[in-house]
Amino acid sequence: MEERIKQIRETFSTLDPKDLQSVEKIRVEYLGRNGYLTKLFDDFKNIPNEKKKEVGKILNQLKSEITDKIETWKNVFSESTKPKGTNLDLSLEEYPFEFGTRHPISLVKNELVEIFKYLGFTVYEGPEIEDDWHVFSALNFPEEHPARDMQDTFFIEKKPDILLRTHTSSVQVRSMEKEKLPIRVICPGRVFRNEAISARAHCIFHQIEGLYIDKDVSFADLKQTLLYFAKEMFGSETKIRLRPSYFPFTEPSAEMDVSCKLCGGKGCSVCKYTGWLEVLGCGMVDPNVLELNGIDSKIYSGFAFGMGLERIAMLKYQVRDLRLYFENDVRFLKQFKNY
């Protein structure tokens, strides 16, 4: 009996199964109903009593050795046959959240900031809630100017007047107040006007203001700056034209048109068959404005310009309903992914 136990242990120790199936075969061969161990236990009943204790011990030992080994093999092979990465659901979308896109107004603003940065302009910002001085009086608006009228301006308080700024020209005043000369700033921001909302008008919109004050700043500097901007923004073949105009804070004042990109100046429905598109207002800073803001107009001169960002975005992206810029409909916003 001891001899057979020894033999079985030796043969078992040489076994080296390669998969779960062979492990099962070994289990049946050794521990199954007709297995070696079962037979040994049957024979055990017939050995003399005085030998039972000793033989029983080695027999039980062999059984637990074999059982343990078979258990270990089973674990090893069931691990390795498990498909890798079973916790992952490969049918799910790669990343469940869509990335946002920049708003077209932000895109235009960023582009403008980049263009003017190249010419040495820095970004300057001011408050949206303003007083009469910064929005009107310091900019040479006469007392009875219609822009101060309740029709156009959202007043928060009267006497002293607190209001929502109607243009970013107020930031010119803020920069003249605070900054040392020379000044070369661009001022992007939101503005507010008491207008009925339609495809062509909105009560909130965005502007960018430019101001350059130094000794010997001339109209030629203004024109060259604007030509550079137009070519950068709308393409190198773009032409500009300046038409005389009026603003209380500039003298002389002008409005600038750019040649229509769509028809190349020949005339189409976008440019209303004129070949030109109106883009901005500009002029030489009125000496009154310089003096009102404590700058000696005999030594210093400057130019200023202001434009609507929605207007630029409309020309650039051919989106002509202003309301779309404010509704934040993702179907609209998504289209600007590639710009």
Q: Does 310 bind ligand DAH (CB under 6 A)?
A: no
Q: Does 171 bind ligand DAH (CB under 6 A)?
A: no
User: 246-284 burial string, b = 16+ CB within 10 Å, else e?
Assistant: ebbbbeebbbbbbbbbeeebeeeeebeeebbbebbbbbb
Q: Does 306 bind ligand DAH (CB under 6 A)?
A: yes
Which residues have CB under 8 Å from 287's CB, separation 6+? 251, 297
Of 128-136, 218-226, 235-243, 275-283: span binding ligand DAH (CB under 6 A) = 275-283
Q: Does 169 bind ligand DAH (CB under 6 A)?
A: yes
Report how far residue 40's alpha carbon sits from residue 28's, in angstroms, rounded to the nearest whole number. 14
Report how far residue 41's alpha carbon sits from residue 56's, in angstroms, rounded to the nearest whole number. 9
The reply to whether omega before 252 is within 30° of 0 (cis) is: yes
Q: Does 281 bind ligand DAH (CB under 6 A)?
A: yes
Q: Where are the alpha helices (DSSP H) in 82-157?
A: 104-118, 132-135
Q: Does 167 bind ligand DAH (CB under 6 A)?
A: yes
The one among 282, 314, 315, 324 contacting ligand DAH by CB under 6 A: 282
Q: Give the nearer residue to ligand DAH in terms of CB position, either 27 or 206.
A: 206
Which residues are registered as beta bridge partners of 192?
A: 204
Number of neighbours of residue 195 by Cβ within 10 angstroms: 14
Interaction pattern, residues 43-82, with ligand DAH; x per rule: CB under 6 A: ----------------------------------------
Binding positions for ligand DAH, 11-50, rule CB under 6 A: none
Cα–Cα nearest to 229, from 242, 217, 213: 242
Q: Does 170 bind ligand DAH (CB under 6 A)?
A: no
Number of neighbours of residue 192 by Cβ within 10 angstroms: 20
Minimum gap (Å) between residue 97 Cβ and ligand DAH: 39
Report how far residue 178's alpha carbon sits from residue 185's, in angstroms, rounded to the nearest whole number. 12
Interaction pattern, residues 121-160, with ligand DAH; x per rule: CB under 6 A: ----------------------------------------
The sign of the torsion formed by the CA atoms of 194, 199, 205, 210 equals: negative
Minimum gap (Å) between residue 126 Cβ and ligand DAH: 13
Minimum gap (Å) between residue 306 Cβ and ligand DAH: 2
Minimum gap (Å) between residue 283 Cβ and ligand DAH: 5
The one among 135, 304, 313, 315 contacting ligand DAH by CB under 6 A: 304
Q: Does 247 bind ligand DAH (CB under 6 A)?
A: yes
Of 49-57, 77-85, 281-289, 317-325: span binding ligand DAH (CB under 6 A) = 281-289
Pairing of strands 250-259, 204-214: unpaired
CB-closest chain residue to ligand DAH: 306
* Amino acid residing at 293: N
Number of residues that bind ligand DAH (CB under 6 A): 11
For 194, the token pair is: 């008491």
The one among 209, 257, 286, 310 contacting ligand DAH by CB under 6 A: 209
The one among 104, 126, 188, 283 contacting ligand DAH by CB under 6 A: 283
Number of neighbours of residue 93 by Cβ within 10 angstroms: 7
Residues forming contacts to ligand DAH in the complex (CB under 6 A) are 167, 169, 209, 247, 250, 281-283, 304-306
